Homo-oligomer: A and B are copies of this chain.
Amino acid sequence: MKIAVLGTGMVGRALAGRLSGLGHDVTIGTRDPLATLARSEPDGMGNPPYSTWAKAHPEVALAPFRDAAVGAELVVNATNGSGAMPALEMAGADRFTGTVILDISNPLDFSQGFPPTLFIKDTDSLGEQIQRAFPRARVVKTLNTLNADLMVDPASLGAESSVFVSGDDAAAKTTVTALLESFGHTDVIDLGDISTARGTEMLLPVWLRLMGALGTAAFNFKIVR
């Protein structure tokens, strides 16, 4: 499948590397590829610069958002929450007719420090805002409730855990669920329409506190039933 991954952070890299490894034709979209490649220092979280990652993944192209999205059947929104709408606009709303948008972003607001609050919540969600802004796209919210490494390799936890899909289009959810299963997810729960993304985005506060309490991001929710 031809796939554009929007975002060059750890989530974008994890998704792009895994999808490429599974044989998909992957281009990462960024605002300014030259600027992205020019960075030579680790980011604020200590992650290596993009160029280091790119050298290890020569099969993954890097392009401006708009070029990355040309002809993509699936667009992965791996931006941070506040960057989601600008990135999708730059990728080209006019091109999203029928396109599946796999939306991982969370509406985290770090402006008051840690822990962040949510800049959308409870009566709306970022997933819904994206669907409303791009009505011809088919948005599926998923993977926003776990760490980047576990998104693409859940088996590394050593026990089954769960991921969720929210979206209005059944066929798009089927496409995304198949991708998730190709990553190793064995418990994909369809919560319902895109408004159910409110619930998964509101998982972030407890996720962040769990990370603090457990001293690791290597955990995930399993729905035991």
Interface residues of A (CB under 8 A from B): 117-118, 121-123, 157, 159-161, 164, 189-192, 196, 198-200, 202-203, 205-210, 212-214, 216, 218-225
Which listed residue, B123, B200, B220, touches A224 by the CB 8 Å rule?
B220
Contacts of A157 in B (CB 8 A): 224-225
Residue ID in chain B nearest A217 by CB atoms: B225
Contacts of A218 in B (CB 8 A): 225
- Cα distance, A212 to B198, chains bound together (Å): 14
- Cα distance, A30 to B202, chains bound together (Å): 33
Given contacts A191-B213, A192-B213, A203-B206, 18 further A-B pairs with CB under 8 A are A117-B122, A117-B123, A122-B122, A122-B205, A159-B224, A160-B224, A191-B206, A191-B210, A191-B212, A199-B208, A199-B209, A200-B206, A219-B224, A219-B225, A220-B224, A221-B222, A222-B223, A222-B224
Are the C-beta atoms of A189 and B213 separated by less than 8 Å?
A: yes
Contacts of A160 in B (CB 8 A): 224
Which listed residue, B122, B196, B205, touches A209 by the CB 8 Å rule?
B196
Contacts of A203 in B (CB 8 A): 202-203, 206
Contacts of A189 in B (CB 8 A): 210, 213-214
Which listed residue, B117, B121, B221, B225, touches A214 by the CB 8 Å rule?
B225
Are the C-beta atoms of A192 and B221 separated by less than 8 Å?
A: no
- Cα distance, A205 to B123, chains bound together (Å): 10
Contacts of A209 in B (CB 8 A): 191-192, 196, 199
28 contacts between A and B (CB under 8 A): A117-B123, A118-B122, A122-B122, A122-B205, A157-B224, A157-B225, A164-B206, A189-B214, A191-B206, A191-B213, A192-B212, A192-B213, A196-B206, A196-B213, A199-B207, A202-B202, A202-B206, A203-B203, A203-B206, A214-B223, A214-B225, A216-B225, A219-B223, A219-B225, A221-B221, A221-B222, A221-B223, A221-B224
Residue ID in chain B nearest A215 by CB atoms: B225
Q: Given that A122-B118, A216-B225, A221-B223 are contacting pairs, would A199 and B206 also be in contact in the complex, using a CB cutoff of 8 Å? A: yes
